[in-house]
């Protein structure tokens, strides 16, 4: 049976073994995917925060609760 | 100890486990802060005491029989080749054995016992958070002993032991305990919650859920950070720090010494450090987005991220760990609210989701990502595979987690020992203590004013 890291048993001399993570050879693709995840996160986060700020802007138009919040420090 | 190298290795190993135990204490301190922060002011003291007292109760019961179970039950008994209880292997783990005390010929038993014991506390503490503000302390402490000194250590003997039948037959791989600690504890909590029922006012008349907010989010956040910190110790405690191929006695050839996971298969502290931090990050990032920046769920997502990747964090690439952590955080958040809405389950801290569902999913994912890799350095063991991992996850969550929790809670409920009366729940569990406190304050103030 094949294995995702190429090893099917530990009948080896450890001095001859290096990387043992799965899907070796696809590190660069994983890096690109990871990069996309990280950049995508910033884009999504900015959207989430924009919605939040929009809600905050439309809240407490009289300013009464805001003054109470300032009083509470 | 035969020579100086053996002596150094033994003392290093002894010290290594000792340090992990001290670090793991932070998990418990974190759980205390987290639970108290999540509870309402009128329940603080009971919440605190409920969790603190599991420490001595699980400790003494784990000394009396928990540790023995680990060595006695790797074959089931009678699951692997009809073999029964392994009395010979468990000699040395009975409370009356010389190795269970001050003994100059054994430097490892005490620290190894303690490392496992801290896992026991964690398992019980996971359940503790889910049931706050309405469970009787006495009932919880019985449940804590059941999961901490019986259920989890049976699963460890089966699936977290170099000789466990699940490793041999299923190829079960769960290096940092996605299933053997988290899925079982989450399943156990779910079983208890089903019988215990929700807190008063948790659900509206139309069945939709109300949010019962944490009284102190800052305390909750600090608690999470302490849990994260203690989790480092937990990870290190899951490894054997240094061992020679000769001592492993498996198929490894040559003379290169190595660190190993609990199955005695090679890994490194460096690998798990990469993966711990990347899975934490994946979990935090996804949880922040999916929960729209909610504090509890962002921190919980970090934890769920680590928990999901833990089954294979000895072998994953860090970027794989990050994505797996993200999947776990997303699934935990979605499943928590789906189950809450569908089954009216009031899990006060999201423990079933963060530990149970994320742990279950983590075990299953490892079956795919590590497919075909050896589960053990010994010959004849099944390779890691999706079917074995799925069966393993079912055993952890349902068979050894949900069922014992549900049955024990049913029994306690039948004797009216499980839940506090409605009046007491509304007053708050600390009502009497708080009244005494106020009366004492009043009396002292009067006395002092009279003396002015």
Judge whether A44 lies within some domain: yes
DSSP alpha helix (H) spans, B53-176: 54-61, 67-72, 87-90, 109-130, 137-146, 152-159, 165
Judge whether A2 lies within some domain: no
Q: Which of A21, A33, A52 sits opposite B316 (nearest CB)?
A: A21
Q: Which residue has the higher pLDDT, A2 or B294?
A: B294
Secondary structure (3-state) at B72? helix
Judge whether A48 lies within some domain: yes
Which ipTM score applies to this complex? 0.94
C-alpha to C-alpha distance for B13 and B420, rounded to whole angstroms: 46
Instruction: Identify from B244, B273, B317 which residue to disrupt to test chain A contact, counting A C-beta atoms within 10 A and taking the largest count.
Output: B317
Closest chain A residue by Cα to residue B253 = A13
Cβ–Cβ contacts within 10 Å for residue B443, how many? 10
- The H or E element containing residue B240 is strand B240-243
Residues of chain A contacting B244 with CB distance shorter than 8 Å: none
Is B323 touching A (CB cutoff 8 A)? yes
Encoding tokens for residue B93?
């783990």
pLDDT given for residue B1 in this prediction:
54
pLDDT given for residue B2 in this prediction:
65
Is B369 touching A (CB cutoff 8 A)? yes
Judge whether A38 lies within some domain: yes
Residues of chain A contacting B323 with CB distance shorter than 8 Å: 33-34, 37
Decide if B319 contacts B311 (C-beta within 8 A).
Answer: no
Encoding tokens for residue B104?
């100059």
Q: Which of A1, A4, A12 sits opposite B253 (nearest CB)?
A: A12
In Å, how far are B13, B374, B382, B389, B391 from B395, measured between CA atoms?
A: 32, 21, 17, 10, 6
Cβ contact A9–B379 (<8 Å): yes
Residues of chain A contacting B315 with CB distance shorter than 8 Å: 5, 20-22
Closest chain A residue by Cα to residue B317 = A21
Long-range Cβ contact pairs of A35-42 (< 8 A, separation 24 or more): A37/B285, A37/B322, A37/B323, A37/B326, A38/B285, A41/B285, A41/B289
C-alpha to C-alpha distance for B188 and B154, rounded to whole angstroms: 14
Positive or negative torsion for Cα B437, B438, B442, B445:
positive
Closest chain A residue by Cα to residue B312 = A21
The residues in A 3-32 lying below 8 A from B, measured between CB atoms, are 3-5, 7-17, 20-23, 27, 30-31
Judge whether A47 lies within some domain: yes
CA B443 from centroid of its chain's CA atoms: 45
Residues of chain B contacting A23 with CB distance shorter than 8 Å: 317, 320
Residues of chain A contacting B326 with CB distance shorter than 8 Å: 37
Size of interface A-B (CB pairs under 8 A): 99
pLDDT given for residue B3 in this prediction:
83
Decide if B91 contacts B65 (C-beta within 8 A).
Answer: no
Secondary structure (3-state) at B203? strand
Encoding tokens for residue B341?
């809405």
Residue B371: closest CA among A12, A4, A27, A21: A4
Low-confidence ranges of chain B (pLDDT < 50): none
Q: What are residue B258's DSSP bridge partners?
A: B243
Residues of chain A contacting B322 with CB distance shorter than 8 Å: 34, 37
Residues of chain A contacting B320 with CB distance shorter than 8 Å: 21-23, 30
Closest chain B residue by Cα to residue A34 = B319
Instruction: Identify from A3, A9, A10 which residue to disrupt to test chain B contact, counting B C-beta atoms within 10 A and taking the largest count.
Output: A10
Q: What is the dotted CATH code of the domain comprising B4-250+382-420?
A: 1.10.3430.10
Shortest alpha-carbon distance between residue B249 and chain A (Å): 11
C-alpha to C-alpha distance for B293 and A50, rounded to whole angstroms: 12
Percentage above 90 pLDDT, chain A: 93
Q: Which of B251, B289, B374 sits opposite A45 (nearest CB)?
A: B289
User: DSSP string covering B210-254, please?
Assistant: PP---S-HHHHHHHHHHHHHHHHHHHHHTSEEEE-HHHHTSS-BS
Residues of chain B contacting A56 with CB distance shorter than 8 Å: none
Shortest alpha-carbon distance between residue B293 and chain A (Å): 8
Is B289 touching A (CB cutoff 8 A)? yes
**What domain range includes position A67?**
27-72
C-alpha to C-alpha distance for B39 and B33, rounded to whole angstroms: 10
In Å, how far are B114, B162, B167, B233, B414 from B252, measured between CA atoms?
A: 29, 15, 18, 28, 54
Q: Which of A7, A31, A34 sits opposite B373 (nearest CB)?
A: A7
pLDDT given for residue B6 in this prediction:
87
Judge whether A9 lies within some domain: no
Residues in chain B: 452
Is B121 touching A (CB cutoff 8 A)? no
| Residue given tokens 């692997």 in the structure block | B80
Secondary structure (3-state) at B233? helix
């Amino acid at each position: 049976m094949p294995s995702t890291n190429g090893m099917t048993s530990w009948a080896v001399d450890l001095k001859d073994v290096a990387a043992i993570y799965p899907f070796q050879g696809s590190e660069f693709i994983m890096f690109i995917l990871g990069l996309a995840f990280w950049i995508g996160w910033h884009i999504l986060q900015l959207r989430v925060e924009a919605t939040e700020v929009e809600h905050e802007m439309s809240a407490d138009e009289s300013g009464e609760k805001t003054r109470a919040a300032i009083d509470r420090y | 100890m035969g020579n100086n190298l053996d002596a150094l290795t033994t003392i290093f190993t002894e010290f290594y486990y000792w340090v992990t135990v001290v670090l793991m204490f932070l998990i418990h301190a974190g759980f205390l802060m987290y639970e108290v922060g999540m509870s309402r002011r009128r329940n603080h003291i009971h919440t605190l005491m409920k969790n603190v007292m599991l420490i001595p109760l699980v400790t003494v019961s784990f000394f009396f029989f928990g540790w023995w179970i680990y060595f006695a039950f790797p074959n089931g008994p009678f699951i692997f080749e009809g073999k029964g209880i392994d009395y010979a292997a468990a000699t040395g783990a009975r409370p009356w054995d010389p190795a269970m005390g001050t003994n100059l010929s054994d430097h490892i038993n005490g620290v190894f016992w303690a490392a496992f014991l801290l896992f026991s506390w964690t398992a019980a503490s996971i359940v503790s958070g889910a049931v706050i503000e309405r469970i009787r302390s006495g009932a919880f402490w019985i449940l804590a002993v059941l999961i901490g000194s019986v259920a989890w250590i049976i699963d460890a003997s089966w699936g977290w032991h170099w000789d466990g039948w699940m490793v041999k037959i299923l190829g079960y791989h769960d290096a940092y305990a996605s299933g053997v600690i988290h899925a079982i504890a989450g399943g156990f909590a779910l079983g208890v919650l089903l019988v215990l029922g929700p807190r008063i006012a948790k659900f509206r008349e139309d069945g939709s859920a109300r949010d019962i907010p944490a009284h102190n989010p800052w305390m909750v956040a600090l608690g999470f950070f302490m849990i994260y910190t203690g989790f480092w110790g937990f990870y290190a405690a899951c490894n054997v720090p240094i061992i020679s191929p000769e001592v492993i006695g498996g198929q490894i050839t040559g003379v290169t010494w190595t660190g190993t996971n609990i199955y005695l298969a090679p890994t490194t502290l460096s690998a798990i450090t990469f993966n711990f931090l990347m899975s934490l990050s994946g979990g935090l990032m996804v949880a922040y987005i999916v929960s729209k920046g909610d504090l509890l769920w962002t921190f919980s997502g970090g934890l769920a991220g680590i928990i999901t990747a833990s089954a294979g964090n000895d072998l994953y690439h860090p970027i794989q760990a990050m994505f797996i952590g993200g999947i776990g955080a997303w699934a935990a958040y979605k499943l928590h609210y789906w189950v809450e809405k569908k089954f009216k389950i009031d899990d006060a801290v999201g423990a079933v989701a963060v530990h149970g569902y994320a742990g279950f999913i983590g075990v299953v994912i490892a079956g795919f990502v590590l497919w075909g890799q050896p589960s053990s350095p010994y010959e004849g063991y099944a390779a890691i595979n999706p079917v074995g991992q799925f069966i393993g996850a079912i055993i952890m969550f349902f068979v050894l987690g949900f069922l014992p929790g549900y049955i024990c809670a049913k029994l306690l409920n039948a004797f009216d020992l499980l839940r506090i009366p409605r009046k007491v729940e509304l007053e708050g569990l600390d009502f009497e203590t708080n009244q005494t406190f106020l009366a004492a304050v009043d009396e002292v103030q009067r006395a002092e004013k009279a003396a002015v």
